[in-house]
Amino acid sequence: MEWERITGGLCAVKGVRAYGIKEGNNGLALIEGRGKAVGMFTTNKIKAAPVRFTKSQLEAGEGIISAIIANSGCANSFTGENGMRNAEKMAELASSSLGVDKKEVAVASTGPIGRQMDMELIERQLGEVVKRLTSDEMGSMTAAKAIMTTDTFHKERAIRIGADDKERVIIGGIAKGSGMIFPHLCLSSATMLSFIYTDASLDDETLKRCLEDAVDNSFNMVVVDGDMSTNDMVLLVSTGGGGEISEGEFKNGLNFVCKELAKLIATDGEGATKLIEVRAKGAASVEDAREIAKAIVRSPLVKSAVFGERIDLTCGRIIATIGSYTTSGDVDPDSISISIKGEGQRAVLVAKKGKFVDLSGATRDIMKGKEIFIDVDMGMGEREATAWGCDLSYDYVKINAG
């Protein structure tokens, strides 16, 4: 089925309104649009109050969401019972302002851990946001900006699937994330947040399967610094009213939107100067391929070598990482081949069947540019996976030291 990129983010979906404001480090976003909802949440054993609250909301509200209220500047994590009361209060405020059932309001937060919410600020900002809710592109953009923390740009994507009204479906979403990015999200259980809306009419189980597949191939394959947040959350809301679409076609579209948002998060990693994309192929299992790809983009030594534009150091560090992080089965060093490609450059074979290639004629231009692509062929099977990360620069330490 045909599809195309469109503008508007989550407001590209009919019936969705949004707006957000940012005042210094403190922002508030509100999204309105009723529909079936499924969510995936951090597996961190210390879950923030809004994560626990929203999970219970999805169960209590029978999987229906009418609004999402999200703040930046305070994670409301490690805040005890008062944190849960404040998360519930945020839902009550949104419910009262919009005239919707409190059970149908999701809450999300991002910011420093251990700080109590300033509820007077939340209430004041909400009063301003509610008056400006809009279905125009501005709504999605301002909401995406409002939830930014150390992000340097807002993140949104939307696509239209289908060429005519009978099969036309919209998927649009926003995301935030820059640091503390090593998501591991599951259906049951600086932060990664994403809110995605669609007008596709699909049942709950289909939405769950599609979201799980999309997240596993996108957000769960992003590594900025290897630290897992207490607040990671992805919500998918289906408002209905769109055209007919098969599960496979919707899954492909949702995968695309999520991967686009995931790459934006990796590109915007704290202090990042380069996006790193690693494709691990020829693995014995998908699990091995995922683990190898994520391990390479997670390695501080690989990330540092990429920042220094040292192709020679990058190669050896990739090999060491592969040997350290494979999840099952043996690794045959004599089967491993690696190629590296820089932005606007041709791919360079740096290792072939267990032996490094002579790089004396290679130039540092290979590692220049803002995107580095690493292909690792394990030579052990037919499975593959792709992960995204960024280099490790001086600025990452500066940002997280202060």
Task: Provide the annotated active-site residues.
Answer: 191
Measured from the Cβ of residue 172, the count of other Cβ atoms closer than 10 Å reads: 25
- Shortest CA distance to 90 belongs to which of 78, 76, 73? 76
Q: Phi/psi zone of residue 162: left (φ > 0), alpha (ψ -120 to 50 degrees), beta?
A: left
Contact, 188 vs 171, CB < 8 A? no
Is there a contact between 191 and 229 (Cβ–Cβ < 8 Å)?
Answer: yes
In a 13 Å sphere around the CA of 278, the CA atoms on its Cβ side amount to 33
- CA dist 11 and 32 (Å) reads 10
List, in sequence order, the alpha helices (H) in 158-270. Answer: 204-216, 247-267
Pairing of strands 169-176, 155-161: antiparallel
Q: Which residues does 353 contact at the CB level (< 8 Å), separation at least 6?
A: 334, 335, 336, 337, 379
CA distances from 360 to 294, 320, 364 (A): 29, 21, 11
* Rounded distance between C-alpha atoms, residue 188 and residue 6, angstroms: 32
How far is residue 52 CA from its own chain's centroid?
19
Q: Measure the CA–CA gap between 354 and 377, rounded to whole angstroms.
A: 11
Residue 161 in tokens: 């699937």
- CA nearest 273: which of 365, 377, 393, 378? 393
In angstroms and rounded to an integer, the radius of gyration of the C-alpha atoms of the chain is 21
Q: Between β-strands 193-198 and 3-5, what pairing exists: parallel, antiparallel or unpaired?
A: unpaired
Distances (CA, A) of 139 to 11, 107, 192: 7, 18, 20
- At 251, the amino acid letter reads K
Q: Is residue 234 exposed (0-12), middle (13-18) or buried (19+ Cβ within 10 Å)?
A: buried
Pairwise CA distance, residues 118 & 86, whole Å: 9
Residue type, 292: I
